[in-house]
Structure 1
Amino acid sequence: MNNSSNPEPSPVLHIGDQVLALADIVPLLQRYGMLPALIKELVIDRAIAAVTLTPEQNALALEQFLQTNQIASPEQQQGFLAQRGLSEGDLPALAQRAHKLQQYKLDTWGHQVESHFLQRKAHLDRVLYSLIRTRDGGLAQELYFRIQDDGQPLADLARQYSEGQEAQTGGLIGPVELSVPHPALARLLSISQPGQLWPPSRVGEWFVVVRLEKFLPARLDEATRQRLVDELFNTWLTEQVQRELQANAIAGASSLPGNQ
């Protein structure tokens, strides 16, 4: 019998003795939770398809890509490609893709950075502070008075009594962004003046004595600008990936037997 009209699917991947056909790939991506990562890359490809680079930008893209991935020798380049199953001819395309993506981010969200910075500034401001924490409320009160009234160094008392890792640094923490500490602690620090010592406060399971040492306001420098552009892009990308996942789930459900 001639089965030429229904050829067997060609294998696309050999893993040991296992032969995978094209139809096997998507179920495996779903099983191992890798489908969102694939969709993310496809969404990016679609977004940057219209971005064009000059020859000078292509050369710069390759130079920056090699620097970013710490590729400084032919041996390192071969190792990089071998780990990813790529050929030398794939390298320029990878570099150009990264450069196009950066250009797309700036073109799409660069004009929103200033307003986004103002919305996020309260969380981007950094603080350096000293902390003593203990589960014993009475001890916390005593330590507060020993610092406030008796002038004992907070650092010495933190090393002796604090029950967290900050004991190793004399209670000193930071600089950290205000989004890092517990929200109740962050509120105290956000309204503090440098040198201000707060009486014991309940923060979760702890009683804490905290003093603001230094307030470091966020500045819209190049590093912060890039971070905010990346935040806006990642928010958009997550929404796009979820939309595609939902659309594919609906399409898959509608193709099940009984839904035709």
Structure 2
Amino acid sequence: MESGSALAELKRLIGSDGRALLNRYNLLRPLVEQMVTTESIASTQVSDEELDQAKLGLLERRGYEELEQWPELLTELGRPEAMVLDQLKRGIQQRSTAREQFSAKAEARFLERKNELDQVVYSLLRLENRFLARELYLQIESGESNFADLAKRYAEGPERNTNGIVGPVPLTQAHPVLVEKLRVSQPGVLLEPFRISDWWLVVRLERYSPATFTDEVSDRMCKEMFDEWIAEQTATNLSRLNGNVDAKASR
């Protein structure tokens, strides 16, 4: 994939003064990014069926149920139909282009990032007092009290508002010490209190969901790689526009 004509078009439209003005207001990068993206997806066709599915998806996200309600949605949005359809087409083109260019590499990327994609749900009590943490651990372990009630009463973190439940979240989102404990824990097993920084934690893994390579995950990997390629092309074009490419590279 190349993006040469986007740069040539921009050079034709604006001079050095125009580039300086756009840079000043941080508008040049998003403009170049949009031009590179538009050029990269321009040859990707969108079928009527794909567009109808996209329209139905937008309708459902806005609380509607069928395509016949499309005029009502347009009224609610207050935007011209052509503008809305153009945005939907663009989304379809980006997904299709990403699949076409990167689907062969999607599974390898998934395997590299699998640990980051695994999901967990766990119960958490975060306390400053070591002895209170131990006491609450014993109450839960013996069945004298349940996690949710104690979290609402004693937890000193945001889990106080969720009955102690955290997740589902990516496993690696947690502190590295907690990640390692969750990784080797079994669902339903209460962990003895342990310290992280200034906190004492009482934790129980509720559910561990290893990531699997589905069509949805494949699309996500393709999108990530497509976005990275767009960012690289944008940076290259910006460098050329601003005259920062060395003599060797420009030959």
Q: Same fold (TM over 0.5)?
A: yes
Instruction: Give the CA deviation at 1:131.
Output: 0.3
Please point out which of 125, 134, 155 is paired with 1:141.
Answer: 134
Which residue is equivalent to 1:76?
A: 74
- Asked if residue 114 in structure 1 is aligned to residue 112 in structure 2, the reply is no
What RMSD, in angstroms, separates the aligned Cα atoms of the two structures? Answer: 3.1
C-alpha distance after superposition, 1:118-150 (max 9, x if no partner): 122211111111000012223223322333356
- 2:48 aligns with 59
Identical-residue share of aligned pairs (%): 33
How does 1:19-30 map onto structure 2 within 5 Å?
25-30=18-23
| Contact map agreement 1:61 1:98 (CA 8 A) in 2 | no
Which of 135, 140, 147 is the matching residue for 1:154? 147
The answer (yes or no) to whether the contact 1:36–1:245 under 8 Å persists in 2 is: yes
Does the 8 Å contact 1:192/1:212 carry over to 2? Answer: yes
For residues 95 and 133 of structure 1, the distance between their equivalents in structure 2, rounded to whole angstroms, comes to 44
Which position in structure 1 is the counterpart of 2:5? none
Q: Residues 177-192 of structure 1 correspond to what in structure 2 (within 5 A)?
A: 177-192=170-185
Alpha-carbon distance in structure 2 between the residues aligned to 1:95 and 1:159 = 44
Distance 2:35 2:73 in 1: 30
Q: Which residue of 2 aligns with 1:245?
A: 238
| Higher relative contact order structure (alpha carbons within 8 Å, sequence separation ≥ 6) | 2
- Alignment CA distance shift 1:242-1:200 (3 Å): farther
- The alignment covers a number of residue pairs equal to 224
Structure showing the higher helix proportion among its residues: 2
Deviates more, 1:23-32 or 1:179-188: 23-32
Q: Which has the larger radius of gyration?
A: 1
In 2: Cα distance, 1:198 partner to 1:95 partner: 48
Once the 2 structures are TM-superposed, how far is the Cα of residue 193 of structure 1 from its aligned partner? 0.8
Change over 3 Å in CA distance of 1:98–1:156 after alignment to 2: closer
Unaligned runs of 5+ in 2: 1-12, 60-68
Counterpart CA distance in 2 for 1:26 and 1:253 is 19
Aligned to 2:4: none
What SS is found at the alignment partner of 1:112? helix
CA contact (8 A) 2:193 2:200 kept: yes
Q: Which of the residues 35, 44, 59 maps onto 1:42?
A: 35
The answer to whether the 8 A contact 1:195-1:211 is kept is yes
Aligned-residue offset at 1:153: 2.0
1:4-63, CA deviations, whole angstroms, 9 ceiling, x for partnerless residues?
xxxxxxxxxxxxxxxxx96565334322222221111111133234x353xxx4423543
1:174-216 Cα distance to aligned partner (Å, 9 max, x none): 2222133233222221121112222222234322111101111
Give the CA deviation at 1:75: 7.4
Stretches of structure 1 that go unaligned for 5 or more consecutive residues are 1-20, 82-86, 255-260
Secondary structure of the residue that 1:219 maps to in structure 2? coil
Query: What is the CA–CA distance in structure 1 between the aligned matches of 2:192 and 2:240, rounded to whole Å?
Result: 54
CA distance in 1 between counterparts of 2:176 and 2:149 reads 26
**Conservation of the 8 A alpha-carbon contact between 2:95 and 2:223:** no
Q: Are residue 31 (structure 1) and residue 58 (structure 2) matched?
A: no
Q: Retained in 2: the 8 A contact 1:146–1:152? A: yes
- Give distance in 1, aligned partners of 2:201 and 2:114: 26
Q: Which residue of 2 aligns with 1:17?
A: none
Amino acid at match of 1:30: N
Distance 1:240 1:182 in 2: 35
Aligned to 1:230: 223
